[in-house]
């Protein structure tokens, strides 16, 4: 079996309905297959897997045979140390990470009919070459208005509701502390997708209360965050300061190999982003309350301007991403929590005044003739792609349902 086919089966949940277990017999519940990683490192990130009674969030690696783990030399690569599940077609060997720890494995159960697998492999090859996930692309090219403004607005609110649910889960973890939950979410989004997972782990293993004790010292904040990230490198002064703070708070740092540097512009390097994050915490007392009480977009952006020459400024594009993915969803969730629907809608509508995002998914929509004017449009279309196009939820989509009805009418 080609590995590409196993990726296709995993990503499209073709294992659904069949019981999955670890190779040592524990039941597995796949809550989310994660996001396909096309860069170096494990195949899928941000997967959510329940193994027995324990829920895990992390990376998944997929191989045809377990022994491929060693053939690809993952046992020597620290970037694979945080793999939570090794998914294989045949478990022919127990595998270990670079620390010698056993990696949990699953022989994925899926339909094995040869004709079915042949057809799947053809589809997988086509998908791999075209990366086509927008199944109504042909119809949209002829009629871009099939995605109505009303559907876009509904999609924007669906996305905000999804983010609100994630915020509520984080509040449970942080014992209802909005400030601490926001700190973790902001850290995650400072990773700007590529390094979002290690940035989130950095915030989790470095409690906000510890940082607040040293908020008046930018050097100490930078030392503790870079040290916790495993990225101090050869700065002896900073390493000495971190050693003191690590002992003071009994901290455990991350493995620095988790951070991705490949094909990354210098202004997006994890070291620089951590320095900017530290500077923001240093200069911004009561940051959460100030962000929640500010309704003017330029005033919100101004709160992210770094007032120190010890690290470069963030560009307005980066600030806009933080506003769209962190600040405005928290404003929306915070307003809903306090039964202020007018404020919630005002926060959502601020996205109409932020420049549209630019990524591979949005570029696909542009190629299909979609008019994209703001972040409200991009957030709506991202939600449409991720929650309807990718999981084949066409009949739950306004466009897909209309196409289905039109086809039915033509039969009569």
Tell me the C-alpha to C-alpha distance, in Å, between residue 234 and each of 169, 226, 252.
38, 12, 19
Q: Which pLDDT score, from 0 to 100, does residue 131 have?
A: 45
Quick check: helix, strand or coil at residue 381? helix
Q: Which pLDDT score, from 0 to 100, does residue 116 have?
A: 61
329-368 pLDDT, tens digit each: 999 999 999 999 999 999 999 999 999 999 889 988 998 8
Q: Which pLDDT score, from 0 to 100, does residue 129 have?
A: 44
For residue 21, what are its two tokens?
């277990």
Q: Which pLDDT score, from 0 to 100, does residue 130 have?
A: 40
For the chain, which residues score pLDDT lower than 50?
A: 127-131
Q: Which pLDDT score, from 0 to 100, does residue 182 have?
A: 97
Outline where 192-340 has alpha helix (H).
196-205, 208-212, 218-229, 236-249, 270-283, 287-292, 297-302, 316-322, 328-337
Closest CA to 257 of 87, 99, 383, 28: 99
161-214 pLDDT, tens digit each: 999 999 999 999 899 999 999 999 999 999 988 899 899 999 999 999 999 999
Closest CA to 388 of 379, 399, 377: 399
Q: Which pLDDT score, from 0 to 100, does residue 156 have?
A: 98
Could you say which DSSP state residue 110 is in? -
Q: How far apart are CA 380 and CA 382, in angstroms?
A: 6
Q: Which pLDDT score, from 0 to 100, does residue 4 have?
A: 75
Chain centroid, CA 14 distance in Å? 23
Question: Nearest 10 degrees: CA dihedral of 121, 14, 163, 84?
Answer: -90
Q: How far apart are CA 370 and CA 384, in angstroms?
A: 13
b/e per residue 376-400 (b: at least 16 CB within 10 A)? bbbbbbbbbbebbbbeeeeeebbbb
Residue that has been written with the tokens 């996305």 in this structure: 159
Chain centroid, CA 338 distance in Å? 27
- Residues 110, 22: contact at Cβ < 8 Å? no
């Amino acid at each position: 079996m080609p590995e590409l086919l196993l990726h296709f089966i995993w990503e499209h949940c073709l294992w659904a309905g069949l019981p999955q277990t670890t190779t040592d017999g524990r039941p597995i519940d796949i809550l989310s297959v994660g996001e396909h990683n096309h860069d170096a490192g494990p195949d899928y990130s941000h997967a959510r897997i329940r193994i027995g009674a324990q829920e895990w969030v992390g990376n998944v690696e997929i191989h045809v045979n377990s022994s491929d783990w060693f053939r690809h030399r993952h046992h020597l690569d620290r970037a694979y140390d945080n793999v939570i599940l090794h998914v294989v077609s045949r478990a022919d060997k127990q595998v270990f990470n670079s620390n010698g720890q056993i990696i949990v494995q699953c022989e994925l159960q899926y339909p094995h009919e040869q004709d079915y697998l042949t057809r799947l492999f053809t589809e997988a090859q086509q998908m791999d070459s075209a990366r086509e996930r927008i199944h109504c692309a042909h119809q949209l090219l002829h009629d871009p208005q099939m995605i109505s403004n009303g559907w876009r607005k509904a999609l924007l609110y669906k996305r905000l509701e999804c983010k609100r649910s994630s915020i509520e889960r984080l509040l449970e973890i942080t014992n209802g502390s909005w400030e601490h939950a926001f700190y973790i979410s902001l850290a995650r989004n400072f990773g700007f997708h590529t390094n979002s997972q290690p940035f989130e782990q950095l915030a989790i293993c470095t409690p906000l209360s510890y940082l607040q004790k040293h908020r008046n010292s930018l050097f100490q904040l930078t030392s503790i965050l870079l040290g916790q990230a495993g990225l101090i490198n050869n700065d002896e002064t900073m390493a000495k300061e971190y050693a003191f703070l690590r002992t003071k708070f009994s901290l455990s740092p991350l493995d620095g190999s988790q951070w991705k540097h490949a094909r990354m512009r210098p202004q997006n390097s994890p070291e620089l982003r951590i320095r900017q994050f530290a500077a923001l915490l240093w200069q911004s007392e009561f940051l959460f309350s100030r962000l929640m009480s500010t309704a003017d977009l330029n005033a919100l952006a101004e709160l992210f301007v770094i007032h120190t020459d010890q690290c470069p400024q963030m560009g307005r594009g980066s600030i806009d991403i933080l506003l769209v993915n962190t600040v405005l969803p928290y404003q929306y969730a915070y307003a809903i929590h306090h039964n202020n629907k007018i404020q919630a809608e005002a926060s959502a509508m601020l996205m109409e005044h932020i420049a549209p995002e630019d990524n591979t998914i949005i570029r696909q929509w542009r190629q299909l003739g979609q008019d994209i004017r703001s972040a409200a449009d991009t957030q709506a279309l991202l939600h449409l792609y991720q929650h309807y196009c990718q999981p084949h939820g066409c009949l739950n989509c306004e466009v897909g349902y209309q196409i289905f009805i039109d086809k039915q009418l033509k039969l009569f």
